[in-house]
Amino acid sequence: MSKAKKKKEGISRLMELAGTKKKGLTAACTLSVLSSVFKIIPYFTIYGVLKEIIRCYSAGDKFAFGSVSTLVIITAVSALLYGICAYSSAMLSHGAAFDILYELRMKLMEKMGRISSGYYTANTQGSIKKLLIEDVEQIEVFIAHSMCEVASAIATPLFTIIVLFIVDWRLTLVSLLPIMLSFVILGMALKKPDGAKHQKNMADCKAKMEGTIIEYIHGMSVIKIFGGTKKAFRRYETDMNAFTKSVHDTAYYNANGMGLYYAFFGAQVLFLLPAAIIMLGSSAGYADVLPKILFFLVVCSGLKEPLENMMNVSIDSTKINVGLKRIDDLLEQPEITLIGEGKTLTQFDIGFDKVSFAYDGSGIKACDEVSLNLPQGSCNALVGPSGGGKSTIAQLLLHFYEIGSGSIKIGGVDIREVTHSELVKNIAYVFQDSFVFSDTIENNIRMGNTEASFEQVRAAAEAANIAETIEALPDGYQTIVSDSTGLSGGEKQRIAIARAILKNAPIVVLDEATAYADAENEAKIQDAFSKLSKGKTVIMIAHRLKTIQNADNILVMNGGKLAAVGKHDELMDKCELYRDMVNANDRRDSWTMRRLSYDKA
Ligand code: ADP
């Protein structure tokens, strides 16, 4: 049986993602290693100078600068080269990190445009945001800083130990002994049977506490209205206490092991001094032993930092693995099919042929063997009870999802043979919840056609019945849309319609766009729709049945099936479901009228 190719992780996966920037990154790491060498050399030369001073002192000679001048020059040059290498390494690694980040973000964005919309249903907005911002950012920090630190964290202790061995192998072994012991203790502490259980408990308590905080903030208005502040706060307090307890438990559990680890890790002096006393007593003489002891005391205390860095880097690399996995998960999502090179659409009639589709994991057919034919330039209304499959039809036409069986054609061309950009260029979609970006109103409308002049933007706003409202704002078309702009839902809806009018696409899809608008807004929106729809192939997902009675085709969707097709009068005759819906709508409208006149009285 052939083994599946093992997926790369950590640094090797990062190097894969680095792509063309790998060379820059390798150069940065090499320079970082070189900088570690130049950082160690001065310790060695200073040891030489020290040795010469003590030799002169014990021999009663006059100290001559000439005897150490070469060492001093080497020290100065090394310090200079250290600075140059460290600086160049940081510049290169930061440059590479931002280039890699740019490429990765573009890759993720492009990928997001090519995958099925099911991904967005399965993953919350929060988790996608976390992926695109935090996970990618973490990679930048790792590449720009930690990656070179890895190189230096390995090289520095290695070169230091080599230098220590050159100076005196016995003192080297003595100073390494406590470090070795501390690592053994750490290993034993990490392997303790309940360690993982404590860590998991701490992570679970933290996640629960964060969940409660988010729920508390989101539900604040409801909590206030129903006076549940104290109760909700008590839950938050309980979760916070549980988290604090889990942190204490974990800390106590690890206290002995970690305490011993830190005690040994920094205890070289305790081991070095007795060894030095023994060496001094056993002949070698002060002039030889003293500079060595001083050298070891200074250098060994500096060994702690790079060794700790080495451990931190290995912790960091485990952390980025979680983010890398999420990034890979997105990069590996199956893409929406494109058969061939991508055809151009020239005709705009719409045909569904026995189309069936179920959302991932739902098991229910949201679209069940649906066949329909909508002529170019016709106005078509999709009606039916909630959950009937109306929005699904619209989303399938946009190729947001891959259908299970059947085919969808525009102008006789299967949408799987059309690129995403060609498809969306020809369809204007006004969503139920129109999204307005936090940008100027002009730019929000211009998104429909980036080439449009300001006059065209204005004309679109006028056609959408929103120009007057925009011009009444202090900054007019330059107003940045935000929560404080004070635009109502209906007004935002009309900005979205202006965007669609400017796009001037031959197919228009309107999704229950007037469902929640007030009477005045609805009239304005309806008027804007008429202008947007003129001469286009229109699919309108209708909530208010009165507005679609003149449609060329009314398609009744129920339980994912196309229950009936026809004009209003035909359907009133032959389709019981449609008749019931129209009657229910009439009753609701007259109830609203009665209620309004009662309120006014
Ligand atoms: P309508 O627009 O007529 O209200 P939809 O097309 O939204 O109906 O829904 C049709 C069916 O598909 C319903 O059973 C609904 O619960 C289900 N559905 C809709 N969107 C999703 C989704 N993103 N994931 C899973 N099921 C969905």
561 pLDDT exceeds 90? yes
Q: Where are the domains of the chain?
A: 10-331, 350-589
Mutual angle of helices 169-190 and 147-167, in 10-degree steps? 140
Calculate how far, in angstroms, residue 392's C-alpha sits from the geometric centre of ligand 1. 6
Which of the given ranges, 56-60, 228-232, 299-303, has the highest pLDDT on average? 56-60
Determine phi and psi for 55, rounding to 5 degrees: -60, -45
> The whole model's pTM is what?
0.65
- Rounded CA separation 437/445 (Å): 10
- Amino acid symbol at 100: I
Residue nearest to atom 26 of ligand 1 (CA): 359
Whether the per-residue pLDDT at 315 is higher than 60: the answer is yes
Q: How far is the CA of 371 from the centre of ligand 1 (A)?
A: 18
Task: Provide mean pLDDT across the span 441-448.
Answer: 90
- What is the distance between the alpha carbons of residues 342 and 414, in angstroms, rounded to a whole number? 10
CA distance 508 to 500: 8
| CATH 3.40.50.300 is right for the domain spanning 350-589 | yes
- Give tens-digit pLDDT for 137-149: 888 788 777 777 7
| Percentage above 90 pLDDT, the chain | 26
Closest Cα to residue 410, out of 537, 541, 574, 580? 537
Ligand 1, atom 24, residue with closest C-alpha: 359
Q: For a ligand 1 pocket test, name from 362, 400, 509, 557 the mutation site with the most ligand atoms within 8 angstroms of its C-beta.
A: 362
Amino acid 397 reads: L
Centroid of ligand 1 to alpha carbon of 126 (angstroms): 22
Confidence category of residue 224, pLDDT binned at 50, 70, 90 = low
Q: Kindly tell me if the per-residue pLDDT of 593 is higher than 50.
A: no
**Ligand 1 atom 25: residue of nearest CA:** 359
Asked if 120 contacts 400 with a C-beta cutoff of 8 angstroms, the reply is: no
pLDDT tens, 478-521?
A: 988 876 667 777 788 888 889 989 998 999 998 765 555 666 66
Contacts of 402 (CB under 8 A, 6+ apart): 116, 336, 337
Q: What tokens were used for 256?
A: 């002995």
* Most confident region among 154-163, 432-441, 505-514 by mean pLDDT: 154-163
pLDDT digits (tens, 9 = 90+) for 119-136: 776 666 667 777 788 788
CATH superfamily of 10-331: ABC transporter type 1, transmembrane domain (1.20.1560.10)
532 Cα: distance to centroid of ligand 1 (angstroms): 27
- Any ligand 1 atom below 6 A from CB of 238: no
Q: How confident is the prediction for the chain on average, in pLDDT? A: 83
Other Cβ atoms less than 10 A from the Cβ of 436: the count is 19
Helix (H) or strand (E) holding 363: none
Gap between the Cα atoms of 519 and 160, Å rounded: 80
Report the alpha-carbon distance of residue 507 to residue 377 in Å, rounded: 8
Top mutation candidate among 123, 356, 359 for ligand 1, by most atoms within 8 Å of CB: 359
| Residue 183: CB atoms within 10 Å | 15
